[in-house]
Amino acid sequence: MKRPILILGIAGVVFTYLLLSGSMYTVSETEQIFVTEFGKPVGAPINADPAKNEAGLHFKKPFIQDVNRIEKRILEWDGPSTEMPTRDKLYISVDNFARWRISDPKLYFEKLRDERSALSRLDDIIGSETRAVIASHDLIEVIRTDKTRQPQRDEALTAADSNLGVLPPIRDGRSALDDQILKSAAPKVKSWGIELIDIQFKRINYKAGVVEKIYARMASERKQIADRFRSEGAGEAAKILGRKERDLQQIESEAYRTEQEVRGKADAEATGIYAAAYNTSPAAADFYQFMKTLETYQSTLSKDTTAIFTTNSDLFRLLKNLEPKKQE
């Protein structure tokens, strides 16, 4: 008699425990609760309203109702790195991330059920909008942070190189592209009870072909700068040589003029001396003429000179009646 009563008592305690444990549940501050009955949502979400703190102990119908816990905090989406083309047909690898939260638990539960499905849908939506935005902008728009940021100009460049190292005008910049992706993707994920808070580019890498083009452009710009330096150097060298030739000709011209002036003065003085000598006396004039004739002989005749001239000429008149010296 006592044994069946004991068994019934134990069964009653177990049933009471199962009944109480199946009808009570706790809600954390970091989660939202949605109760379903036979798989269908029942009532409003618990702890979904930020103005209310409904965390703590709650009750439900045991056995027929289930508790579905949904994250209340901000969640992270980290997308895969994907290659995509820009508007100027350059392929880049884009890796971005987003922050999101569940704004409508009931809609989220009905559409997606769990976080894994939500992340898969975010991959599709954010990836698609990222490709669309990148394809509608040039590479420079993706690289530069915003349109107000100007690149530092190379000190080697001067006013003559105004067309070198100048990037195309930036219309938006990468920050604006983040906002465009967010504005395009937010309405689409809202239908799943998801609120997109922020989308940012995490990493942007060039493909090998793009890197080669960038290096080729840098090399071309440097070659143009080097050619300009060589051209300027050649121009300066030509100016220096021109000044040298001009100064040399001027110096030679002045020296020749000075030389001619000195010669002219000397010839004038010599002529004056000759005239004075001629005018001194007839004997002096004859002696002077005799000396000049001898000087002429000395400069024109030598021991190897063989010539036949008449002694009737004024030059050789002194040789007339000239007798050779007798040897003793």
pLDDT of 44-92, one tens digit each? 777 667 667 777 777 777 777 777 788 888 899 998 888 899 988 888 8
Query: What pLDDT is attached to residue 43?
Result: 74
Token couple for 226 = 């080097």
Task: Mention every residue, 6+ apart, whose C-beta is less than 8 A from residue 169.
Answer: none
Alpha carbon 279 to its chain's center: 93
DSSP for 211-271, written as a single string: HHHHHHHHHHHHHHHHHHHHHHHHHHHHHHHHHHHHHHHHHHHHHHHHHHHHHHHHHHHHH
Q: What is the CA radius of gyration of the chain?
A: 56
Cα–Cα distance for residue pair 55/41, rounded to 1 Å: 19
Query: What pLDDT is attached to residue 122?
Result: 93
Query: What pLDDT is attached to residue 104?
Result: 85
Tens digit of pLDDT for each residue in 132-170?
999 998 888 888 887 676 655 555 555 555 555 556 677
Cα–Cα distance for residue pair 77/119, rounded to 1 Å: 7
Token couple for 207 = 């493909």
3-state helix, strand, coil in the chain (%, to 5): 50, 20, 30
Return the CATH fold of 75-206. Answer: Tetrahydropterin Synthase; Chain A (3.30.479)
pTM score, two decimals?
0.57
pLDDT > 70 in the chain, percent: 72
Query: What pLDDT is attached to residue 188?
Result: 92
Q: What angle do CA 11, 14, 19 make, to 5 degrees?
A: 120
CB atoms < 10 A from the CB of 27, how many?
19
pLDDT in single tens digits along all 328 residues of the chain: 567 776 766 766 666 666 666 677 777 777 888 777 777 777 777 766 766 777 777 777 777 777 778 888 889 999 888 889 998 888 889 999 999 998 888 888 888 888 889 999 999 999 999 999 999 988 888 888 876 766 555 555 555 555 555 566 777 888 889 999 999 999 999 999 999 999 999 888 887 777 777 778 778 878 887 888 888 888 888 899 989 899 999 998 889 888 888 888 888 887 777 777 666 666 666 666 777 777 776 777 676 766 656 656 665 665 555 555 555 4
- Contact between residue 97 and residue 76 where contact means Cβ atoms under 8 Å apart: yes
List, in sequence order, every residue forming a beta bridge with 98; answer none if it has no partner: 77, 199
102 φ, ψ (degrees, to nearest 5): -90, 110
